[in-house]
Structure 1
Amino acid sequence: MMIRAAIRSDLGAILRLLREVGDPAGARSAHVRMSSAAVRAWTRMESDPDRTVLVAEDRGQIVGTLDLMIVANLTHDAQPWAAVDNLVVDPQRRGQGVGRALLEDAVDRATHSGCYKVEMLAHEGGAAPSGFCVRLGFGGSSDGYRRYL
């Protein structure tokens, strides 16, 4: 298995995995519609030097993904911090170290970027249980609040 930065041709596979988070029933569909909005979002994301979408690839198949964002900061001597979002592993590959490998790569990239912390939120009721996060060195540190616009 190899962890690498995603490229444009990975977008269909990434969207298939991300449907696991937002629409588990729809994720089982073999066909993933690549909307023009998704292509526009991808174009913005790939041109952002502070954002990297990582993929786990095994034998030519994308089996996991996550989104890493490096955030400029004025506290902690202006050291940036990192946010990890959309960590998803193919259901057939869960429990096989894919998520761990993705997250370890993201932490390495954040360290090399001079980040003083990495934050990650698990999806409510999602497939990323707190035990997984704790085993990888993440601790619960605060309540999270969200307002959708």
Structure 2
Amino acid sequence: MRFRDATEADLAAVVALLADDPLGATRESPGAELPPAYAEAFAAIAADPNNRLIVADDEGAVVGCLQLTFIPGLTYTGGWRAQIEGVRIARSHRGRGLGRAMFEWAIGEARGRGCRLVQLTTNKARPDALRFYENLGFVASHEGLKLDLATG
């Protein structure tokens, strides 16, 4: 297993992972013909040195993904933070420690970039994910709020 930056050739596999849960199934459009917005978003991520789309590669098969974003800030005396989003592990690879290994890798990347903290959000409809993140040492220290601009 290795963790690497995704390529455009990985895009369909990543979208399929994002769609493979009850919430993702309602908001993603996997398939052979992906909507162009996915390629546009991938191009923007790939062009931004503070954004990385990471895949877990098991002998050429994409079996996990996450987006790692580095955010500069003035708080914490100008400290950088890393944001982890879009975390998914293929059903066939769950329960084997891949998620933990992927997070340890991402946290190591954040440390290497000099980040002060790593943050993430998880949907309240995903209690198993919340337990997983807490077992990794993440603390629910803040309330997270989102405003969906697509629904008004």
Structure 1 length as normaliser, TM-score?
0.89
Paired position in structure 2 for 1:63: 63
Once the two structures are superposed, the pairs formed by residues 1-149 of structure 1 within 5 Å of their partners are: 1-21=1-21, 22-23=24-25, 31-126=31-126, 128-149=128-149
1:6/1:53 contact within 8 Å kept:
yes
Could you list the runs of 4 or more consecutive aligned residues of structure 1 that deviate by over 4 angstroms after TM superposition?
none
1:82/1:115 contact within 8 Å kept:
yes
Structure 2 length as normaliser, TM-score?
0.87
Name the aligned partner's letter for residue 136 of structure 2: L
- Structure 1 gap segments, 5+ residues each: none
- Distance (whole Å) between structure 1 residues aligned to residue 127 and residue 18 of structure 2: 12
- Distance (whole Å) between structure 1 residues aligned to residue 128 and residue 54 of structure 2: 17
- Structure 2 gap segments, 5+ residues each: none
1:81/1:118 contact within 8 Å kept:
yes
- Distance (whole Å) between structure 2 residues aligned to residue 145 and residue 134 of structure 1: 19
Name the aligned partner's letter for residue 61 of structure 2: Q
Relative contact order (alpha carbons < 8 A, sep ≥ 6): 1 or 2 greater? 1
Q: Which moved more, 1:35-44 or 1:64-73?
A: 35-44
Q: 1:53 to 1:82 in 2, by over 3 A?
A: same
Work out the percentage of aligned pairs sharing the same amino acid: 29
Pairs aligned (count):
146
1:3/1:101 contact within 8 Å kept:
no
SS in 1 for 2:13: helix
